[in-house]
């Protein structure tokens, strides 16, 4: 074969300084995954607690407590799956993570309206949700996940 028929070896494109190296996660993505996991774990703990109260008959309405506990356990799947996807830098995981944060904001607002210790939980949930949203829409996070804006093909 002549040198004209042999394709020239491709040189890799130079990496930009702000793009993460292959296999490297930006800290913002790690923090977003951690916050989503924290919310999922909190839902598992709360769901387990409510479920145990319902099964032991400690609550006022056993059926309502069992249903509420199971519901919280099922709801915990969304942030936990999103956290796993973010940790593994899967593109699909950003949507469920953003949805989780948006759904948490009205819950935080309702907790803030309480006249009890739930106010502290509302503040914590609002802070975590807003922080996670900021991290999820950050350009470094979207680049790491391979998400481009509308009309931007790479």
Structure tokens at 88: 């593994």
Residue 95 to residue 141: CA distance in whole angstroms: 13
Q: Which two tokens stand for residue 15?
A: 């990496």
User: Residue 12 has what pLDDT?
Assistant: 47
Residue 135 has pLDDT above 60, yes or no: yes
How confident is the model at residue 107, as a pLDDT? Answer: 93
Q: Does residue 17 carry a pLDDT above 50?
A: no
pLDDT band (50, 70, 90) for residue 147: confident
* Model confidence pLDDT, tens digit, residues 115-125: 888 899 999 99
Instruction: Give the whole-angstrom CA distance, residue 22 versus residue 144.
Output: 9
pTM attached to this predicted model: 0.77
What pLDDT score was predicted for residue 7? Answer: 53
Question: What number is the average pLDDT over the span 59-70?
Answer: 86
Range in 1-15, 23-37, 96-110 with the lowest mean pLDDT:
1-15
Alpha helices (H) in 57-117, listed in sequence order: 62-75, 77-87, 94-112
Give me 76's structure tokens: 């915990």
Per DSSP, the residues of 16-58 read PTTSPPTTPPPHHHHHHHHHHHHHHHHHHHHHHHHHHHHHHT-
Distance, in Å, from the CA atom of 86 to the CA atom of 114, rounded to the nearest integer, reads 33
């Amino acid at each position: 074969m002549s040198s004209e028929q042999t394709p020239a070896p491709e040189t890799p494109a130079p990496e930009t300084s702000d793009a993460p190296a292959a296999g490297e996660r930006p800290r913002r993505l790690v923090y977003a995954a951690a916050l989503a996991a924290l919310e999922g774990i909190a839902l598992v703990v709360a769901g387990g607690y409510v479920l145990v109260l319902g099964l032991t008959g400690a609550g006022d309405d056993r059926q309502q407590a069992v249903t509420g506990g199971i519901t919280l356990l099922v709801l915990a799947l969304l942030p936990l799956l999103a956290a796993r996807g973010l940790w593994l830098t899967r593109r699909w995981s950003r949507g469920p993570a953003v949805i989780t944060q948006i759904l948490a904001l009205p819950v935080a607002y309702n907790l803030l309206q309480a006249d009890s210790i739930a106010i502290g939980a509302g503040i914590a949930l609002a802070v975590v949700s807003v922080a996670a949203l900021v991290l999820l829409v950050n350009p470094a996070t979207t680049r790491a996940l391979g998400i481009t804006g509308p009309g931007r093909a790479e």
